[in-house]
Every structure is written in structure tokens, then in C-alpha cells.
Amino acid sequence: MTTLFRAALLFRGGLAALAVLAAAGPVHAAQVCAWMTEKVGDADLHEVTLWLESDSDVDLYYMIKGEGLKSEGSRSHSPGSGTYSLRAKKPEKPWGFGATLSPPGEIDIIAELHATPADIFADDEPPLIASFTFHRALPEGEKIPPATLAERQCVTADFPRPRRP
């Protein structure tokens, strides 16, 4: 593949990303914070819930990635995605998951925030705006989870302005 051909492909990809952002309309800076709550129930049932909060109204497309809940010989995850509208200063929980996880093990979940795509069924991922990683080890014998995942992670980024009347 020639250098000129590669440059043309990169340029074309950049134009496609720019077109998606342009179609979304003007952007505005917003601070978005993410954190997770974790509960442990009977029979080592671990439940995690993603929370998001913004300082202004934001429309986004979230994607859940990572390895999920892992222990020796098992792995459980529920990766997902969807559109979501956050209202200013109102915490929301767009995603949650629960599975049996016997320590030792680990939790590895990545929450990505993307621009809302024009077509949610398209194969290409929309432009990434922010990413939050939630990871912790579960030591042998742990019964009460620490507040590690509950620590708020905040970023300020440009989000497409919500289309509302």
C-alpha cells in the first residue's frame, strides 16, 4: 500500500468523522462524571451499576466494554450500548449488571461516551468523546466491597448540543 493511498484513506476516515460531528450540530463543553456502585448479595452475587451526571443537558451514545467480572475459571459480562439523555445535575444510571463472582477475582468495566450516531444500527463506532475505566481486584475472603468503583471520575469534553424544542 503506497503512502499516498494510506494518506487518502486516513483523510477519508477523518472526513467521515467530521461529517458525523457536523451533522450532530454545534458542540458545547460539558463536565460529565461517572462512577459505579457495587453490591454483594447472597451466594456472592455482585451487582454493579454505572452512574453518570453532567453539569448541563447532554445527549450521548454509551458503550460498555472491558472484561467484566472475572474469577478463576469464569468470566461474566453484559457489554451493551445505547443512546441516553442526561439532564443537568441529575445523576442517572444507564446500565447495570449482576453475576456470581467468588473471590479471588477482578472487575474490569470500561464505559465509553460517544457522539450520538445518525444511525444506531451502523457498523462503525461513532466518535469517542470520553472513556471511564472501572477496575479492581477482589481478594480472597472479601465480603464487603470497598468504595473503589464509587470514586467519581470527571472529564470536561465537547458534546454535540442536544436537539430539543
- Tell me if 102 is assigned to some domain: yes
Contacts of 1 (CB under 8 A, 6+ apart): none
Give the chain's radius of gyration (CA, Å): 19
- Decide: 100 and 45 in contact? Cβ < 8 Å: yes
Q: DSSP label at 149? A: G
User: Do the domain assignments include residue 12?
Assistant: no
Helix, strand, coil content of the chain in percent (nearest 5) = 15, 50, 30
pLDDT at 25: 61
- 20: in domain: no
C-alpha span between 15 and 114 (Å, rounded): 17
- Per residue in 38-70, pLDDT tens? 999 999 999 999 999 999 999 999 999 999 999
Question: Mean pLDDT, to the nearest integer, of 147-151?
Answer: 95
134 in Cβ contact with 64 (< 8 Å): no
What lies within 8 Å, CB to CB, of 70 at 6+ separation is: 76, 101, 105, 106, 107, 108
Q: Domain span at residue 136?
A: 27-160
Above 70 in pLDDT, residue 24? no
Q: What's the confidence (pLDDT) of residue 46?
A: 94
CATH number of the domain enclosing 121 = 2.60.40.10
pLDDT of 18: 42
59 in any annotated domain: yes
Confidence at residue 120, expressed as pLDDT on a 0 to 100 scale: 84
Q: Does residue 16 carry a pLDDT above 70? A: no
Q: pLDDT tens digit string along 76-85?
A: 999 999 999 9
Q: Is residue 39 part of a domain?
A: yes
Q: How far is CA 33 from CA 39, 51, 52, 135, 152, in A?
A: 20, 8, 6, 16, 6
Q: Say yes or no to pLDDT of 111 above 80.
A: yes
In the chain, the number of structural domains is 1
Residue 68 lies in a domain: yes
Query: Does residue 147 sit within a domain?
Result: yes
Q: Specify if 108 maps to a domain.
A: yes
Work out the mean pLDDT of the chain and round it to a whole number. 86
2-13 pLDDT, tens per residue? Answer: 444 444 434 444
Q: Are the beta carbons of 79 and 135 closer than 8 angstroms?
A: no
> Measured between alpha carbons, how far is 151 from 90 in angstroms, rounded to an integer?
17
